[in-house]
């Protein structure tokens, strides 16, 4: 039996999603919890690996098991064995053709910026902080150059292991609500640090350090060393994965709002 699960987590105290020896990871905690429920070793596949400090609201995973449990038991049993900063949201049976990563049609991220002159207290680690005033209209003008299918070499980490730097960005939106600026990115897939590097370029433009056209210039260089800063992981949320309707998985998009 193949089981799909929805997962949310606060990434602040994890060294990212992927299992690593000697450090605390989301995958490691989830696999240990599900292994206790299944009464056998469980290995999970996720829709998208997140970095240290990045949060997940709409992560999707799958695993195979011969254990017979109700979907409610997978969720409640898993949560009973998970730390407080991870929660399983739902469970569903899927056919063997389902793959959390390769069956995904698209993914969505939200980057949250607290834009005020004093640093955050209660929201430390949950938002990125920019003290200089941001011009949202300039940031919006820059987004037009990044929408569509492009070679995003300048917007990926130097250590990115993806075979191709080409990605399709369906939408890139910038909105302000009081002291908060929200960057919403929807794409078929993402490169390592791609969202954080896009955020870094847009922040520089919003601060007036660069013109909106700089987003296009960086893209055309196809050279990460010529790009902008990598924005911090604080404030980055993996919010949604889209799958074909035939898998009948929950499609709710949950947005972090402050």
Give domain limits for the chain.
Answer: 2-103, 106-238
Does residue 249 have a pLDDT over 80? Answer: yes
- Mean residue pLDDT of the chain comes to 96
Contact 200, 228 (CB under 8 A): yes
Among the options 10, 51, 151, 184, which is catalytic? 51
Residue 170: exposure state from Cβ atoms within 10 A (0-12, 13-18, ≥19):
middle
Residue range 105-112: average pLDDT?
97
| Domain 2-103 indexed as CATH 3.40.50.300 | no
51 has catalytic annotation: yes
Q: May I ask the CATH class of domain 106-238?
A: alpha beta
Residue range 183-197: average pLDDT?
97
> With bands split at pLDDT 50, 70 and 90, how would you rate the model's confidence at 228?
confident
Residue range 10-26: average pLDDT?
94
Q: CA end-to-end span of the chain, whole Å?
A: 40
The number of beta carbons lying within 10 Å of the beta carbon of residue 111 is 27
Does residue 42 have a pLDDT over 80? Answer: yes
State residue 184's pLDDT score: 98
Contact 46, 88 (CB under 8 A): no
Does residue 227 have a pLDDT over 90? Answer: no
Residue range 77-97: average pLDDT?
97
Does residue 251 have a pLDDT over 90? Answer: no
d(CA 80, CA 134): 43
State residue 253's pLDDT score: 84
Q: Are strands 128-130 and 236-242 parallel, antiparallel or unpaired?
A: unpaired
Query: In b/e form, how buried is each residue of 88-110, taking b as 16+ CB within 10 angstroms?
Result: bbbbbebeeebebbebbebbbbb
Q: What counts of helices (H) and strands (E) characterise the chain?
A: 5, 10
Does residue 252 have a pLDDT over 90? Answer: no
């Amino acid at each position: 039996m193949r089981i799909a699960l929805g997962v949310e987590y606060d990434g602040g105290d994890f060294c990212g999603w992927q299992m690593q020896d000697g450090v605390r990871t989301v995958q490691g905690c989830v696999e240990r919890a599900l292994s206790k429920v299944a009464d056998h070793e469980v290995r999970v596949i996720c829709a998208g690996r997140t970095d240290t400090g990045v949060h997940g609201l709409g992560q999707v995973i799958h695993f195979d098991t011969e254990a017979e449990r109700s979907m409610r038991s997978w969720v409640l049993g898993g949560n009973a064995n998970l730390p407080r900063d991870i929660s399983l949201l739902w469970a569903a049976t899927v056919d063997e053709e389902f793959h959390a990563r390769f069956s995904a049609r698209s993914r969505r991220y939200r980057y949250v910026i607290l834009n005020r002159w004093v640093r955050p207290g209660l929201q430390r680690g949950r938002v990125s902080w920019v003290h200089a005033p941001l011009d949202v209209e300039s940031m919006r003008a820059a987004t037009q150059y990044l929408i569509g299918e492009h070679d995003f070499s300048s917007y990926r980490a130097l250590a990115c292991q993806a075979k191709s730097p080409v990605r399709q960005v369906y939408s890139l939106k910038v909105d302000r609500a009081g002291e908060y600026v929200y960057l919403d990115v929807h794409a078929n897939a993402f490169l390592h640090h791609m969202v954080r590097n896009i955020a870094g370029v847009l922040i520089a433009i919003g601060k007036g350090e660069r013109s909106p056209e700089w987003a296009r210039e960086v893209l055309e260089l196809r050279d990460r060393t010529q790009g902008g800063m990598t924005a911090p992981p604080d404030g980055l949320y993996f919010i949604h994965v889209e799958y074909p309707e035939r898998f009948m998985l929950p499609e709710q998009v949950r947005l972090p709002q402050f």
